[in-house]
Amino acid sequence: MDIFETDKKYVAGTYARFPVEIVRGKGSLCYDGAGKEYVDMGAGIAVNIFGFCDEEWIAAVEKQLHAFQHTSNLYYQAPCARLAEELCKRTGMKKVFFSNSGAEANECAIKAARLYAAENKGEEYYNVITLKGSFHGRTLTTLAATGQEVFHKYFQPLTPGFLYAQPNNAESVKKLIDGHKVAAVMLEPVLGEGGVIPLEQSFVKEVFEYASENGVLIIVDEVQTGNGRTGALYGYMNFGVLPDIVTTAKGLGGGLPIGATMLGEKVKNVFSAGMHGSTFGGNPVAAAGALSVINRLNDKFLSEVREKSAYIKTRLDNMKGVKGVTGTGLILGVETDMPAGDAVLKCIEGGALFLTAKNKIRLLPALNISYELIDRALSVLEKVLEG
The yes or no reply on residue 224 touching ligand PLP (CB under 6 A) is yes
Which residue stretch of 97-105, 107-115, 197-205, 337-345 sits at the interface with ligand PLP (rule: CB under 6 A)? 97-105
Site for ligand PLP in 36-95 (CB under 6 A): none
3-state secondary structure of 99: strand
Which of residues 167, 192, 198, 235 is near ligand PLP by CB under 6 A?
Answer: 192
**CA–CA gap between residue 227 and residue 40 (Å, rounded):** 19
221 is a contact residue toward ligand PLP (CB under 6 A): yes
Instruction: Sort 40 into a burial class: Cβ within 10 Å, 0-12 / 13-18 / 19+.
Output: buried
Asked if 249 touches ligand PLP (CB under 6 A), the answer is yes
Task: Count other Cβ atoms within 10 Å, centred on residue 19.
Answer: 9
According to the binding rule CB under 6 A, does residue 254 interact with ligand PLP?
Answer: no
Which alpha helices (DSSP H) does the chain contain, by range? Answer: 3-10, 43-46, 55-67, 78-91, 102-120, 140-145, 149-152, 170-179, 201-213, 284-296, 299-317, 340-350, 371-386
Judged by CB under 6 A, the residue of 39, 41, 43, 103 near ligand PLP is 103
Q: How far is the CB of 318 from ligand PLP (least distance, A)?
A: 29
Region near ligand PLP per CB under 6 A, out of 88-96, 115-123, 218-226, 379-387? 218-226
Instruction: Point out which span in 66-74, 217-225, 282-290, 342-350 binds ligand PLP (CB under 6 A).
Output: 217-225
Contact criterion met (CB below 8 Å) for 41 and 365: yes
Minimum distance from residue 123 beta carbon to ligand PLP (Å): 26
In the chain, the largest separation of any two C-alpha atoms, in whole Å, equals 62
**Of the ranges 19-27, 98-106, 286-294, 317-325, which one interacts with ligand PLP (CB under 6 A)?**
98-106
3-class state of residue 35 by DSSP: coil
Local structure of 218: helix, strand or coil:
strand
Rule CB under 6 A: choose which of 50, 52, 135, 236 binds ligand PLP.
135
Window contacting ligand PLP (CB under 6 A); options: 14-22, 53-61, 62-70, 96-104? 96-104
| Residue pair 243/264 in contact by the 8 Å Cβ criterion | yes
> Checking phi first, is residue 25 left (phi over 0); if not, alpha (psi -120 to 50) or beta?
beta
Q: Which of 95, 136, 308, 360 is close enough to bind ligand PLP by CB under 6 A? A: 136
Q: Considering the complex, state which of residue 54 and residue 188 has its C-beta at the smaller distance from ligand PLP.
A: 188
Continuous segment of H or E residues that includes residue 353:
strand 352-353
Q: Applying CB under 6 A, which residues contact ligand PLP?
A: 101-103, 106, 135-137, 188, 192-193, 221, 223-224, 249-250
